[in-house]
Amino acid sequence: MTGTSMPPPGWRPIGGATLLAGVIGWPVAHSRSPLLHNFWLARHGIDGAYVPLPVRPGDFAAAARGLGAAGFRGANVTIPHKEAAFAIADDLHRSARRSGSVNTLVFGVDGRIAARSTDGDGFVASLQGKGVDVDRGPVLLLGAGGGARAIAASLLDRGIAVSIANRTRARAESLAEALGSEGGRIAVIDWERWADSLADHALLVNTTSLGMHGGPDGPFMPDLSAAAPDLVVSDIVYVPRRTPLLCAAAARGLTAVEGAGMLLHQARLSFHAWFGVDPVVDAEIEALLDADLAR
């Protein structure tokens, strides 16, 4: 910037008082988190910046503690560092202990690192934001990975019964044992029979990569013919926005909730933990995300 020229629209200086946060991953260039958090920082007039932080496997602990020492408020954590984040935490939030994973770190001025998982609570908030009564349960989860564990933990904490169906039954049983040992009401259903059990559930959630654009799986053609008319169907996959499961739900007139809501609400909870402001998930930020996903 020279002479009397004006800064470009949206330009904000970064100075000594700027509040910093970011997302740690390897790779991390694909993350939509900087888009969402920097939008909210600008909307709320917060002198802050959120940046991608590519950190190689094996370097996570040093990088995370270095960020805290450098004055960062916190960081999101994505693949492949979630287990490492759990290991270095000084204080584990209920959500992290129950889910066994971490996606949000908060750096204290005393050098301590607090850790939580906003995925499960973000999922619940995304349904509530669409007017879904989450508490009426029971819930059928497809998949037994990290997403399923975080969602199941949040649902069980609300007293909601959960069933799990996974293509490898042993993984579903392992997850049920881990969560059930903490007093949760949880059952396992054979993968080949999940569609037959739909009438016994109020909510169906796909936490697998089935239906993901460019994902590792073949075509997904879910059979929802056994569903009750009031079944709510959700998918944590958000590319495409209307997955095969959600299209099948819409074809039967069922309530369908897209996965982008979980992405937005888990980010909202992280933002609040760092900056003390609870941002609104509204049509404006949904449109911003849609435009980015469509690129």
The continuous run of DSSP H or E covering 139 comes out as strand 139-142
Instruction: Say if residue 206 carries a ligand binding annotation.
Output: no
Instruction: Say if residue 119 carries a ligand binding annotation.
Output: yes
Instruction: Say if residue 166 carries a ligand binding annotation.
Output: yes
DSSP letter, residue 21: E
Annotation says 82 is catalytic: yes
150 phi and psi, to 5 degrees? -65, -45
> What is the distance between the terminal CA atoms of the chain, rounded to a whole angstrom?
30
Own/partner contacts of 141-145, CB < 8 Å, gap of 24 or more, are 141/165, 141/205, 141/207, 142/166, 142/194, 142/204, 142/205, 142/206, 142/207, 142/208, 142/210, 143/206, 143/207, 143/208, 144/168, 144/171, 144/172, 144/174, 144/175, 145/171, 145/207, 145/208
Instruction: Say if residue 154 carries a ligand binding annotation.
Output: no
Please answer whether residues 99 and 121 qualify as being in contact, where contact means their C-beta atoms are separated by less than 8 angstroms: no
The continuous run of DSSP H or E covering 105 comes out as strand 104-107
In the three-class reduction of DSSP (H, G, I as helix; E, B as strand; rest coil), residue 256 is classed as strand
Instruction: Say if residue 33 carries a ligand binding annotation.
Output: yes
Q: How many residues does the chain have?
A: 295
Instruction: Say if residue 193 carries a ligand binding annotation.
Output: no
Instruction: Say if residue 169 carries a ligand binding annotation.
Output: yes
Instruction: Say if residue 259 carries a ligand binding annotation.
Output: yes
Instruction: Say if residue 236 carries a ligand binding annotation.
Output: yes
Instruction: Say if residue 50 carries a ligand binding annotation.
Output: no
Instruction: Say if residue 31 carries a ligand binding annotation.
Output: yes
Annotated catalytic residue: which of 37, 82, 93, 268?
82
Residues making up the binding site: 31-33, 78, 103, 119, 166-171, 236, 238, 259, 266
Sequence ranges of the binding site for NADP(+): 166-171, 236, 259
Catalytic sites, residue numbers = 82
Which residues contribute to the annotated binding site for shikimate? Answer: 31-33, 78, 103, 119, 238, 266
